[in-house]
Amino acid sequence: MATAEYPLEQPRRKPREFSISQAFSGWVETVDHKRLGLMYMVTALVFLLVAGVMATLMRIQLAVPNNHFLPPDTYNRLFTMHGTTMVFLVGMPIIAGMSNYLIPIMIGARDMAFPRLNAFGYWVFLFGGILLYLSYLGGGGLSGAGSAPDVGWFAYAPLTSQAFSRGHATDYWTLGILVAGVGSIASSINVIATTLSMRCKGMTLARMPIFVWVMLVDAWLILICIPPLSAAQFMLLADRYLGASFFNTQAGGSAVLWQHFFWIFGHPEVYVLIFPAFATLSEVIPVFSRKPIFGRSAMVAAVVAIGFISTGVWAHHMFTVGMTSVANIFFAVATLLIAVPTGIKIFNWAATMYGGKIRFSTAMLFCVAFLFQFLVAGLTGVMLGVAPFDWQLTDSYFVVAHFHFTLVGGFVFGVFAAIYYWFPKVSGRLMSEKLGKWHFWLFCIGFNVTFVPQHFLGFMGMPRRIYTYAPGRGWDGLNMLSTIGVAIQAAAILIFAWNVIRSLVHGAAAGDDPWDAWTLEWTTTSPPPEYNFETLPEVGSARPLWDLKHPDDPDWKYE
């Protein structure tokens, strides 16, 4: 129960025995959702580091005009691999990892609905990721040395046709992502079946934690939006190897059709990516404000609305393609409408904190920064939704700034919040709050120093995906400033990595419930036993642990 200080005092647990052969078979052959969840997360964080190094190299190249640090082909491959890795090999596995680890213990189940499908999903994802990186060895085909794809992460046609992308680099991109996509779909089917079918007694959908609701909508979105990408990729392969003409403009095919199919996937995809952060905030903010989430049903409705509307806005990535004014107006309308439920979420989180007793743990700090940064990102999104303004801003550094604000300032900050919040549950040990605060402040400052100036670079006409620029365009100083922020972020990440390692070895015992929280995962041990719960719980409200701690004032009286 709550005592004078966070974290709560609990008896120290004995550390586990360790054996190598057990470690191998225990992980490679596992179907336990907790182990698979961890494997997803660790793999994703490794890819995050790799893609982060790529970004660092790119920023060094752009620090000064006419730089010769990287030749153009290398730069073009870096931004392609950076984007592809971050979306498919960092974002998607984090979603799968968080869903798979947390959903069963939040709904009072012993595992996911389909444990073997779970394992299949992980290994297929890993294989897809490795396949993509094998392009460094085989991408040039027989005729050249290995080279990664250099067509951008959205691989527009006809740049990807055989005529303009020789060798096999593009095929590694296509196949790697196709395969990884199968893993995402497998994971999503599992999440939906688990959430609908395996909730413990008393946990109606209305009493499900918002985290689970958000990840459920996320899984639905993945189910609907990944197939268009897979379909387009099959078509691209047919074009490249069977002589098909889906996107072959010489044969009457349409390059714009690729864009439509890609963004029918691509736009819901970015909402897929931000949902884990929404989910995390909806759990962390209430606990560290000591109040329940404000407007629970509105929050759920908002997430469902966002998911639904997001399938209808895709062509706001194509405002400059030359669609009719009617089409442009339709997509501008839909895009601006999506700002409404998103804004509602921010207001509800703010109202949750209002009247509370806010405790600024590291997890909460990352949530607070998210609120400001996602607010900025959402507002720059509104600017981009105003199609004529988009005609200037699209394909410039303004858009680069916008999506890094949503993805780094939003998604990555949300993931850090999740790690600091659930690390004690997963490992049984506490992370260092002191190192956590150093990590937070350095990363927050570094992130803003890198990406705020990029808005202004966009205002001054700097296009994206350029490996260099001439002096005298007014871009020099801002680019240098943007690069300096990278060094600060790198320092922050090193501190984070040190915090994780040190905490795993030396961290204080966490106990079952270090944060005095209210959802089911905090009722079992840290880490949970293989069977998750000694006896399966029965719940009467959305905050079962609150009900237990406050028998005089349980939540179910107010439902």
How many whole angstroms separate alpha carbon 55 and alpha carbon 75?
10
| Nearest residue (CB) to another protein, 46 versus 383 | 383
Q: Is 376 in the site for another protein (CB under 8 A)?
A: yes
How far apart are the C-alpha atoms of 141 and 136, rounded to whole Å? 11
Between CA 432 and CA 440, with CA 434 as vertex, the angle to 5 degrees is 100
Which residue lies nearer to another protein by CB, 257 or 493?
257
| Nearest 10 degrees: Cα torsion 318, 322, 327, 330 | 50
**Measured on CA atoms in the order 516, 520, 522, 523, is the torsion positive or negative?**
positive
Which range touches another protein (CB under 8 A), out of 92-100, 124-132, 371-379, 498-506? 371-379
- Rounded to whole angstroms, the Cα distance separating 300 from 306 reads 10
Q: Please, what is the minimum distance in Å from the beta carbon of residue 42 to another protein?
A: 27
Asked if 358 interacts with another protein (CB under 8 A), we say yes
Asked if 491 is part of the footprint of another protein (rule: CB under 8 A), the reply reads no
Find the binding residues for another protein in span 424-463 (CB under 8 A): 459-463
Q: Of 276, 292, 424, 446, which one interacts with another protein (CB under 8 A)?
A: 292
**Residue 545 within binding range of another protein, rule CB under 8 A:** yes
Write the DSSP symbol of residue 146: -
Kindly state the smallest distance separating residue 254's Cβ from another protein, in Å: 7
End-to-end CA distance of the chain: 24
Q: Which stretch binds another protein (CB under 8 A): 134-142, 375-383, 441-449, 500-508?
A: 375-383
| Closest to another protein by CB, 1 or 20 | 1
Q: Please, which residues have CB within 8 angstroms of residue 412's CB and are 6 or more apart in sequence?
A: none
Round to whole Å and give the CA distance between 339 and 317: 16
**Least separation, in Å, of the C-beta of 323 and another protein?**
9
Query: Looking at 31, 69, 127, 395, which residue binds another protein (CB under 8 A)?
Result: 395
CB of 516 to another protein, least distance (A): 9
Residues 6+ apart with CB under 8 A from 170: 149, 151, 155, 160, 236, 240
Task: Determine the interface stretch with another protein among 33-41, 90-98, 337-345, 487-495 (rule: CB under 8 A).
Answer: 337-345
164 binds another protein (CB under 8 A): yes
Q: Which two tokens stand for residue 11?
A: 């008896």
Closer Cβ to another protein, 48 or 92, answer by number: 92
96 binds another protein (CB under 8 A): no
Nearer to another protein, 50 or 257 (CB): 257
Match 């922050």 to its residue by tokens: 492
Q: Which of residues 495-514 bind another protein (CB under 8 A)?
A: 512
At closest approach, how far in Å is the CB of 449 from another protein? 19
Q: Which residues are 538's β-sheet partners?
A: 201
Tell me: does residue 230 bind another protein (CB under 8 A).
yes
The footprint of another protein on residues 117-146 (CB under 8 A) is none
Does residue 73 interact with another protein by CB under 8 A?
yes
CB of 411 to another protein, least distance (A): 19
On the question of a cis peptide bond just before residue 268, with omega within 30 degrees of 0, the verdict is no
Residue 386 binds to another protein (criterion: CB under 8 A)? yes
Helix (H, G, I), strand (E, B) or coil at 66: coil
Q: Which of 259, 261, 186, 258 is nearest to 222 (CA)?
A: 186
Of 138, 40, 58, 31, the C-alpha closest to 468 is 58
Separation CA 439–CA 35 (nearest Å): 26
* Residue spans of alpha helices (H) in 134-162: 135-138
Q: Which of 15, 22, 130, 197 binds another protein (CB under 8 A)?
A: 197
303/393 with CB nearer another protein? 393
Q: Which of 193, 481, 487, 508 binds another protein (CB under 8 A)?
A: 193
Q: How far is the CB of 22 from another protein (least distance, A)?
A: 28
Q: Where are the beta strands (DSSP E) in 240-312?
A: none
Question: Considering only residues 24, 473, 529, 530, which one is a binding residue for another protein as defined by CB under 8 A?
Answer: 473
Instruction: Specify whether the CB–CB gap between 429 and 503 falls below 8 A.
Output: yes
List binders of another protein among 99-118 (CB under 8 A): 113-114
Residue with smaller CB distance to another protein, 348 or 499: 348
At 396, is the secondary structure helix, strand, or coil? Answer: strand
User: How many residues comprise the chain?
Assistant: 559
Tokens of 307: 């998911």
Torsion angle of C-alpha atoms 131, 132, 137, 141, degrees rounded to 10: 90
Q: Which of 16, 19, 21, 322 binds another protein (CB under 8 A)?
A: 322
Binds another protein (CB under 8 A): choice among 347, 434, 494, 531: 347
Residue 240-269 contact track with another protein, rule CB under 8 A, x = bound: --xxxxx--xxxxxxxxx---x--x-----
Among 206, 321, 494, 504, binds another protein (CB under 8 A): 321
Q: Name beta bridge partners: 509.
A: 429
Q: How far apart are CA 96 and CA 192, in angstroms?
A: 12
CB-based contact 269:87 (threshold 8 Å):
yes
Residue 63 makes contact with another protein by CB under 8 A: no
CB of 439 to another protein, least distance (A): 20
**In this chain, which of 368, 407, 492, 495 binds another protein, going by CB under 8 A?**
368
Alpha carbons 489 and 450: distance in angstroms, whole number: 9
- How many chain residues are in contact with another protein, going by CB under 8 A? 156
Q: Which is nearer to another protein, 127 or 372 (CB)?
A: 372
Q: Which stretch in 233-241, 269-277, 417-425, 495-503 sits in contact with another protein by CB under 8 A? A: 233-241
Rule CB under 8 A: choose which of 15, 26, 72, 477 binds another protein: 72
Q: How far is the CB of 400 from another protein (least distance, A)?
A: 12
CB of 166 closer than 8 Å to CB of 213: no
Torsion of CA 284, 285, 289, 291, to 10 degrees: -90
